[in-house]
Amino acid sequence: MAIKVLNKNKLKDHLEAIQEEVGILTKLDHPNIVKYYETYVDEKYIYLVMEYIGGGELFEKIAQQKNQVFSEGMAKDYMKKLFGALHHMHSQKVVHRDIKPENIMLASNDELKLIDFGLSKRQEGNKKLKTIAGTPYYMAPEVLDGQYDSKCDTWSLGVLLYVFMSGYLPFQGENRNEVFYKIQNAKYHFDHKEFQDCSENVIDLIKKLLVVNPKTRLSAGDAIKHPWFKSESSSKPLKIDKAVLDRLGSFKGVSKLKKAAMNMLVKMADQRSIEELREEFVKLDKDGTGMINAEELKTAI
């Protein structure tokens, strides 16, 4: 476990935002979402007891695998876990709103974890979210228009998948306005040579995620059912080009100062026991929601 220590005097007007984040994390319980345990408060500090994640950022870890093969199959495994985490969140009416490489970490047992719910929001019924929030390169078109729902997160994963397969961002420009124009009009391409070695299924999935109209964009639950996750990438495993690994290593948007500012007291848990429980849970969770319903439990028994 890890303890995040927050100074109440420095937080001041941000206390409500912290309470909102804690309230959201309390609702979530999925193997690929950082686990919140408890909050303790004294006169000066707030102590958030969280799951300890010691493996570093996902993209950094991939970039370090210089002498190993990073394949499309490995990317598929990571993306399946991310869509599973999203499917669980969205079933709980939670929208992350800031999915990007820096918010995807690896635990010490190499299990993927989605973190940082500081911008997350609970959606009430079918009411649209209006606050423009997130990181520009990963924002969905409807977020820029101020009328959006959980489908904004699947767009962000579409951007992430594009980056995974090529090492490039799909929407780039000389300035923010140019980037936003390309996002709002889905102006991207597959001309990078790296895409020549990608399977048709992964290209198709990207196309169905980077759709301007959220009504026709895949939801997280639908994305998990896409043929890419059910078929072999090709007759032989597709190796991701070394140049892609080098570019993935450059996606480090969070400053080291910000990370250093988080005071942590760390205590390791029994990772083997956690992994065994996680594997059994996944076997029971047939619909991939991150929750076991009565029918699934009945079938297991």
Look up tokens 């059994």; give the residue: 280
Look up tokens 């890890």; give the residue: 2
Distances (CA, A) of 262 to 5, 24, 212, 255: 7, 20, 37, 12
Half-sphere exposure of 178 (CA within 13 A, CB side): 5
Among candidate residues 197, 196, 179, 175, the one with its CA nearest the CA of residue 188: 179
Are the CB atoms for 265 and 3 separated by under 8 Å?
yes
15-40 b/e (C-beta count within 10 Å ≥ 16 → b): eeebebbeebbeebebbbbbbbeebe
Q: Which residues are catalytic?
A: 98
